[in-house]
Amino acid sequence: MAVLLFTLLFLSIGAVADKARLLSYDENVAAQYIWVAQILNLESLDMIRNWTCGLACDTVTQVHNVHVTQHGFPLQTMGMVAQYGRDDCILGFRGSKTLLNYLLDDFNLAWTQPYAACPKCRVHAGFYKSWQSLKEQTLRDIVASGCENKPIRVMGHSMGAAIAAIASFELVQNYTLKHVYTFGQPRAANQDWVEAFQQRMAIVPYFRVVDYMDAVPHLPPKGFVDTSDDFHASLGGYLHPGPEIFCNATRRGSYRACAGGEDPKCSDQYNVAECLQHTCCHCSYLGMNPCDLNDPKPQCIQPKTIRMTTESTGEVVV
């Protein structure tokens, strides 16, 4: 009986912690990171370093002392480490930039098992390679920018979101992560990695934001697995970590928070075939545009009939 009571108490405390973490999601912070995602798409690295790109840079005034990390052909990955205000730092990753980059990473479904401490953890080989291409520079820039002892905000859109998740999985062991916000994140790993990620990030707020019927979070397909041999098949297919912030309309204030990574009340209510008819959603988050520099408008506004629900209040607004 004592064991049962202890277990119930432990689960209850965990549920309260999960609820508190979900309630800490901040749309104002998310909106700032949408502008940062735009800036990371700049061709001019000097404009990023000097934070002189027009509307987007003028809107996110907290960023300074910017260091750009990049990898040339063929990956063309890029990120930045910078100070954010007086007390924090920010680590951001650019999404898929070129067609070759897109093919090498987003649609490369091969696995890798890089973690000796988690031998059954499998991650997307392309996304992991992209993080590895930036990792050494990122670690140097964290020191060079004076961020090694400051809370670090982590963000990314599209492929940059997957890199942000994998980077956070590693960085959280040696640095203080303030929070992680990703937008349009594709699936990056299997169930064992998801569980290890959620354990490591237990005290770090992580928010995987999905806009309506964005197709990218549905790729690679849920549960896709290498069936070439029984061992690899037994390790399971691609899954998302939770929690998910599901925006059920392209505007602010219209979202549901789901604690799990694959919840049919959130984006899993749609399948990839349906979502491929709504590709504009990938560049339409919070009524904003994470893709096109200095464009304050989303590529599309969906759906035309908006029904808003928020798990935190149970409120439904038509």
Note the pLDDT tens digit of each residue in 186-231. Answer: 999 999 999 999 999 999 999 999 999 999 999 888 887 765 554 5
Domain containing 159 equals 26-317
Specify the number of domains making up the chain: 1
pLDDT of residue 257: 97
Six-digit token pair at 38? 């735009």
CATH of the domain at 73: 3.40.50.1820
Six-digit token pair at 208? 């995987």
| Alpha-carbon span 229 to 120, nearest angstrom | 15
The residues with which 68 forms a beta bridge, in sequence order, are 80
In a domain, 9, yes or no: no
pLDDT per residue as tens digits for the range 297-311: 999 999 865 444 444
In a domain, 227, yes or no: yes
Give, to the nearest 10 degrees, the angle between helix 191-200 and helix 159-171: 60
Confidence of residue 42 (pLDDT cuts 50, 70, 90): very high
The total number of residues written for the chain in this structure: 318
pLDDT of residue 102: 54
pLDDT of residue 110: 83
pLDDT per residue as tens digits for the range 96-150: 765 445 544 555 678 899 999 999 999 999 899 999 999 999 999 999 999 999 9
**Mean pLDDT across the chain, nearest whole number?**
86
In a domain, 10, yes or no: no
Is the C-alpha dihedral spanning 42, 46, 48, 50 positive or negative? negative
In a domain, 198, yes or no: yes
